[in-house]
Amino acid sequence: MNPFDSTLQRSFPTLMVPTREPVAPMAAAGERLLVAGNGVFLEILRPWLRIIRRISSYAVSTAIPYGVVEEATELLCGRVPPELIRTFAEQARAACPNETGAWIVWHPETKAFRLVRVVVLSLDRASLRYDRPQLADGEVLVADCHSHGHFAAGFSHQDDEDDVFDVKFAVVLGRCNTAQMDVALRLCAKGIFERSNNIPASWLDAVGDTNDYAAT
């Protein structure tokens, strides 16, 4: 095969799922396609995350002599520390009515999380353009956070465009001028967007203002 396609296919292989043994685990970070008896699945491995999602089903009920795959999610980095969400909430409150952004990154060897401010290229009350921040060797992006100023948290068409190629959590804080900000959270994985309806209680607590608005 020509060198271009052979490199491309090595970087994104397709596996036929065996019926009598599990698929061999991925040896390194990347993506692969699993052709199974119950559909076509995308498997993504990153130092902090492993997921398998069905991306296609068969339109015809023909016999596919392959094994069955189940969707899976393994958060290899563990829980994202709510303290970092709190620090970002303070940044969002200070920036309001403008938008602001930060990344929560993780190091697979030290297991340490940290919050890194993004380098803002341009901003106004409805949009934010930024450069990807410089990370230390080995550090990986886990959560891409931005704020919506006075507006509600949620994912705009622009957010969808920005998030389509990444593998990350996307976190949006909205109504940043209020005592209890809105939080929107989704998992983004190469075009798969999974909005979470269960924001961790520790995060909701973290975005509450420590100043007692009710008393003023």
Q: Are 84 and 91 in contact (CB under 8 A)?
A: no
- Give min distance, CB of 54 to Zn ion, in A: 28
Q: Are 81 and 113 in contact (CB under 8 A)?
A: yes
Cα torsion 209, 210, 214, 216: sign:
negative
CA 206-172-74 angle, to 5 degrees, is: 80
Q: Of the two residues 34 and 171, which places its CB atom closer to Zn ion in the complex?
A: 171
Contacts of 201 (CB under 8 A, 6+ apart): none
Q: Of the two residues 45 and 145, which places its CB atom closer to Zn ion in the complex?
A: 145
Span near Zn ion by CB under 5 A; candidates 11-19, 149-157, 193-201, 202-210: 149-157
- Give min distance, CB of 165 to Zn ion, in A: 16
Contact between 159 and Zn ion per CB under 5 A: yes
Stretch (H or E) spanning 16: strand 14-16
- Give min distance, CB of 39 to Zn ion, in A: 32
Q: Which residue is nearest to Zn ion (CB)?
A: 159
Q: Of the two residues 156 and 177, which places its CB atom closer to Zn ion in the complex?
A: 156
- Give min distance, CB of 173 to Zn ion, in A: 10
Span near Zn ion by CB under 5 A; candidates 28-36, 81-89, 150-158, 203-211: 150-158
Contacts of 100 (CB under 8 A, 6+ apart): 91, 92, 94, 117, 120, 123, 128, 146, 147
User: Residues interacting with Zn ion, by CB under 5 A?
Assistant: 156, 159
